[in-house]
Amino acid sequence: MQLVCPAGNLPALKAAIEHGADAVYVGFRDQTNARAFPGLNFSEAELREGVQHAHARGRKVYIALNTYPDSARVAHWFAAVDHAAELGADAIIAAEMAVLDYAARTHPQLPRHLSVQGSATTAAALTYMHERFGISRAVLPRVLSIQQVERVCAASPVPLEVFAFGSLCIMVEGRCQLSSYVTGASPNRHGVCSPARFVRWDEAADGSRTVRLNGVLIDRFQEHEPAGYPTVCKGRFDVNGEVFHALEEPTSLNTLELLPRLAQAGVTALKIEGRQRGVAYVSAVARTWRSAIDRYRANPERWQVEAGWQTALAAHAEGHQTTLGPYHRAWH
């Protein structure tokens, strides 16, 4: 299985490759990708250097163009496809059918991966995208159980990539409306969930903190309590007098124990979430998953999870907690 790691900047790209990534995924410094945070992503010069660095070491670079343009801006996404091809990207990761159609017609030699934002959760959807736009890979949304992943793998016309570690999203990606409820901006069209300009932190005299999103109280943290980046879905809510994470706890997905099952299902690539994270995160997570994948490849019958791997991953997990999330649903 290929290990696909995030790179929000050039140092992270180099760190991912140094610590074992087979491929990295990156974005331009605009709203064509779903991590359009200020200070994140690549200038043209940085991306040229990054592509050269990766190719010199036999690794691949995928460029995410996975947001949904409106009709007034679609030409900008088409230009981004042209730019990705000119830079020598090994694939684009796209969701919008107009963008995929343009890429298929204009740059047929440029591989097209269907983004998780494309929300394809069935073999029928994957077949349509393959026949219509020639996708060569698809990233499955993070809402499927392991049994559902196995069934889709068995019937898919294209190789499949799944998220293996990183921040969870409770929505079917590409269909999230909750993210725009408070701010009017969403990762679907604007490339960011909870834009930084709407975030406000306040600290009280006792050390407790509150975080608001566009003036709306999202959460309250005690002095030594881990505080995650504020999103509506991971806020705490007052439900019948009880305050808790009613929708989703700020916890990272960790599928390490499922690695053999994902491999046996035929999953082509394991993807690490986290283009907004730093070099330390990318280095530690890439190194850990590289070791686990290589150990499995060398001796699948005797493979087992090492405690050190889980300790390393937990140190970089959101809220310092991990979960199997939807992969481990008790119902199907």
Phi, psi for 323 (deg, rounded to 5): -150, 155
Radius of gyration of the chain (CA): 20
Confidence of residue 168 (pLDDT cuts 50, 70, 90): confident
- Per-residue pLDDT reduced to its tens digit, 180-204: 888 888 777 777 778 888 999 999 8
Question: How many structural domains are present in the chain?
Answer: 2
* CATH number of the domain bearing residue 123: 3.20.20.70
Percentage of the residues of the chain whose pLDDT score is greater than 90: 70
- Average pLDDT on 237-241 reads 90
- Average pLDDT on 131-144 reads 95
CA pair distance 176, 164, nearest whole angstrom: 21
Whether the CB-CB separation of 42 and 198 falls below 8 Å is answered with: no
Query: Quick one: how far is CA 308 from the chain centroid?
Result: 24
Tokens, residue 88 = 């020598």
Whether the CB-CB separation of 41 and 78 falls below 8 Å is answered with: no
pLDDT value at 116 more than 90 = yes
**Are 66 and 213 within one domain?**
no
Task: Report the pLDDT value the prediction gives residue 330, as an integer from 0 to 100.
Answer: 57
Distances (CA, A) of 304 to 76, 258, 309, 323: 47, 10, 11, 18
CA pair distance 250, 255, nearest whole angstrom: 16
Reading across the β-sheet that carries 199-203, which strands appear in turn? Answer: 199-203, 209-213, 216-221
**Are 149 and 229 within one domain?**
no
Q: What is the DSSP letter of 75?
A: H
**Are 121 and 51 within one domain?**
yes
Provide DSSP, 203-249: E-TTS-EEEEETTEEEEEE-TTS--PPP-GGGS-EEETTEEE-SS--
What is the span of the domain harbouring residue 186?
178-244
Query: Virtual CA dihedral for 4, 167, 185, 247, nearest 10 degrees?
Result: 150
pLDDT value at 103 more than 70 = yes
Domain boundary among 244, 267, 301: 244
In a domain, 173, yes or no: no
Better-scored residue on pLDDT, 37 or 28 = 28
Task: Report the pLDDT value the prediction gives residue 329, as an integer from 0 to 100.
Answer: 63
- Average pLDDT on 82-104 reads 97
**Are 160 and 287 within one domain?**
yes
Whether the CB-CB separation of 176 and 169 falls below 8 Å is answered with: yes
Closest CA to 306 of 269, 255, 256: 256
Question: Which of 117-131, 171-185, 213-227 ranks highest by mean pLDDT?
Answer: 117-131
- Average pLDDT on 303-321 reads 90
E strands of 112-194, at which residues?
112-114, 137-139, 160-167
**Are 91 and 235 within one domain?**
no
**Are 122 and 150 within one domain?**
yes
Task: Report the pLDDT value the prediction gives residue 170, as an integer from 0 to 100.
Answer: 65
pLDDT value at 174 more than 70 = no
CA pair distance 171, 65, nearest whole angstrom: 20
**Are 155 and 186 within one domain?**
no
CA pair distance 146, 203, nearest whole angstrom: 41
Q: Residue 190: helix, strand or coil by DSSP?
A: coil
pLDDT value at 167 more than 90 = no
This prediction has a pTM of 0.88
- Per-residue pLDDT reduced to its tens digit, 47-85: 999 999 999 999 999 999 999 998 999 999 999 999 999
- Average pLDDT on 219-226 reads 86
**Are 262 and 238 within one domain?**
no
- Per-residue pLDDT reduced to its tens digit, 252-264: 899 999 999 999 9
